Amino acid sequence: MASASIPRPQVLTERALSALERFSHIEAVSGIVLLLAAMIALIWANSPFADSYEHFWNTQLTLGLGDFSVSRSLHFLVNDGLMTIFFLVVGAEIRQEIRDGALANMRLATLPLGAALGGVLMPAIIYTLLNHGSEASAGWAVPTATDIAFAVGVLALLGKSIPSGVRILLLALAIIDDIVAILIIAVFYTVSLDYLGLLVVVGGLLLVLIFQRMGIGKAYAYVLPGAIVWFGLLKTGVHPTLAGVILGLMAPVNSKPAVERPLDTIGRTFHELMERFSQTGDNPQAVAKPLKQLRHAEREVLPPVQRIQVGLHPWVAYGVMPLFALANAGVSLGGANLDEAVSQSVFVGIILALVLGKPLGVILASLALVKLNICTLPDGVTWKGVVLVGLLAGIGFTMSIFIAALAFSDPALLSSAKLSVLAASTIAAMIGLIWGKVKF
């Protein structure tokens, strides 16, 4: 029975939560939150409280049962644990695009695929030419990545003057870029393999497939097999966050088979619910079954691959990624020690590769594909739009810092790499904004 009067605190709370929900779906906001987290980390790491930054993220968390215990740092929890959720969303996005998006067929995928590969190869070539034969050469893959959240967030700041085709091209390019980055991590930054771990991974994946065949659709049921895959990859020697990508790619693109379509079930159950309410009043036992059917059908309206994205995106955008930035962007300007030749090479190489190499690779690859009649520019996309996509692709941030942490064991080189990624991403974003304001 509806209440005749709703308490004012409840009304105000509902309005605030509704405004917060609308605010959270503005793409530019997630980029701003990510930037603020990076700035806080940078200020913290260079403040009088700099020691507390390192101490905090190196704090050990211990989980024990009897004589068995595992101890890991907060930094590990963020980079190897929470980032798995980020990669799960990325994997689901890739799966969705392969199904019915920009990667659904070669005709649609050719331009973003070629542009993305050009945007990976050119920065790697520029960096390698500058650092070949030195200790810094291990970071060749750092400038190959594009940060989806930051790039799309900056694009959103330009407003509705930017054609939708440009946004789609940038998204497709960034997704392919992530696929390449994931392959690079798996192939080039895996030192050795423990094949016993692979058996654990296979066991976890088989459990996922069994659950899917059984029609289990509730997300929490997959936490156990997901954890098994994660642990198996960790034991194997491959970065465990790749478990997220694998599970995202395995997400079904269709709702599970059923005798009745979810929308039909919702309609039928709603009428049944209304009848029972009219007959029995507020008796909870009488309406429990149709309410359960209604919740189940409501969940099945969206296929799992979309439920992953819708359900986890706010947590990733406003939780996981800001925490990652907070844990990794805290570069001590003194620790970078740019007086050393090797640190200078890393710093200059990454900045040139991201700011110059990324747009150059994207534009030249796109130009070659179009001039050779292999593909055409998408509807609504002009060459100035391709240039904008290339400029924004130079925003590396999340994935670039992630790869840097795998590439460099020397703290001084890692600090230089992180600092250069932050500087290059800022420069690329500013140039992209200026180009977008002037040309659109």
CATH of the domain at 340: 1.20.1530.10
Distance CA 269, CA 198 (A): 45
Q: Is the pLDDT of residue 190 over 90?
A: no
Please check whether residues 36 and 185 belong to one and the same domain. Answer: yes
| Residues 175 and 38 reside in one and the same domain | yes
Please compute, for residue 351, the number of CA atoms within 13 A of its CA located in the half-sphere on the CB side: 14
Arithmetic mean of pLDDT over the chain: 83
Q: Supply the pLDDT for residue 12.
A: 67
Least confident of 27-31, 138-142, 253-257, 429-433: 27-31
Q: With a threshold of 0.85, does the pTM exceed it?
A: no
Residues 311, 414 within the same domain: yes
Res 22: pLDDT: 62
Residue 205 tokens read as 């994946």
What confidence tier does 98 reach under pLDDT thresholds 50, 70, 90? Answer: confident
Q: 420 lies in a domain?
A: yes
Out of 271, 296, 321, a domain closes at 296
Q: What is the pLDDT of residues 410-429, one digit of tens each?
A: 888 998 998 999 899 999 99
Taking the C-alpha atoms of residue 322 and residue 328, their distance in angstroms, rounded to an integer, is 10
Please give the average per-residue pLDDT across 13-24, as a whole number. Answer: 63
Residue 128: what pLDDT? 95
In a domain, 254, yes or no: no
Domain count, the chain: 3
Phi first, then psi, for residue 68 (nearest 5°) are: -90, 130
d(CA 235, CA 200): 9
With a CB cutoff of 8 Å and minimum separation 6, the contacts of 331 are: 42, 45, 415, 418, 419, 422
Residue 115 has pLDDT above 90, yes or no: yes
CB of 392 within 8 A of CB of 137? Answer: no
Residues 6+ apart with CB under 8 A from 109: 102, 103, 172, 176
Question: Is the pLDDT confidence value at 90 over 70?
Answer: yes
Q: Is the CB of residue 170 less than 8 Å from the CB of residue 393? A: yes
Instruction: Clarify whether residues 176 and 37 are in a common domain.
Output: yes
pLDDT in tens, 335-382: 667 778 888 999 999 999 999 999 999 999 999 999 998 988 887 889
Domain end point (choices 296, 313, 343): 296
Examine the domain organization and report whether 417 and 273 are in the same domain: no
For 19-23, 84-88, 424-428, 436-440, which range has the lowest pLDDT when averaged over its residues? 19-23
Helix (H, G, I), strand (E, B), or coil: what is residue 380?
Answer: coil
Give domain status of residue 107, yes or no. yes
Residues 146 and 197 in one domain: no
Q: Is the pLDDT of residue 23 over 80?
A: no
Q: Is residue 256 part of a domain?
A: no
Q: Is residue 243 part of a domain?
A: no
What is the extent of the structural domain holding 211? 192-238
360 and 435 share a domain?
Answer: yes
Q: What pLDDT score does 17 carry?
A: 63
Residue 331 has pLDDT above 70, yes or no: yes
Find, among 430, 422, 427, the residue nearest to 333 by Cα.
422
Torsion over CA: 351, 353, 356, 362 (sign): negative
Considering the domain boundaries, does residue 9 fall inside one? no
pLDDT > 50? residue 1: no
* In a domain? residue 279: yes
Is the domain of 333 the same as that of 360?
Answer: yes
Convert the pLDDT of each residue in 176-186 to its tens digit: 887 788 788 88
265 alpha carbon, distance to own chain's centre: 34
- 81 and 144, same domain (yes or no): yes
- Shared domain for 44 and 157, answered yes or no, is yes
Structure-block tokens of residue 202: 């296979």
Q: Are 139 and 354 contacting, i.e. CB atoms less than 8 angstroms apart? A: no
Q: How many CA atoms lie within 13 A of 47 on its CB side?
A: 11
Q: What is the DSSP letter of 357?
A: I
Q: How far apart are CA 24 and CA 37, in angstroms?
A: 16
Q: What is the pLDDT of residue 282?
A: 61
Residues 6+ apart with CB under 8 A from 366: 111, 114, 115, 118, 377, 386, 390
Q: Do residue 277 and residue 308 come from a single domain?
A: no
Residues 367 and 408 in one domain: yes
Instruction: Tell me the C-alpha distance between 88 and 411, whole Å.
Output: 29
Q: Answer whether residue 206 is part of any domain.
A: yes
Give one DSSP letter per residue of 9-72, joined into a string.
HHHHHHHHHHHHHHHHT-HHHHHHHHHHHHHHHHHHHTSTTHHHHHHHHT-EEEEEETTEEEEE
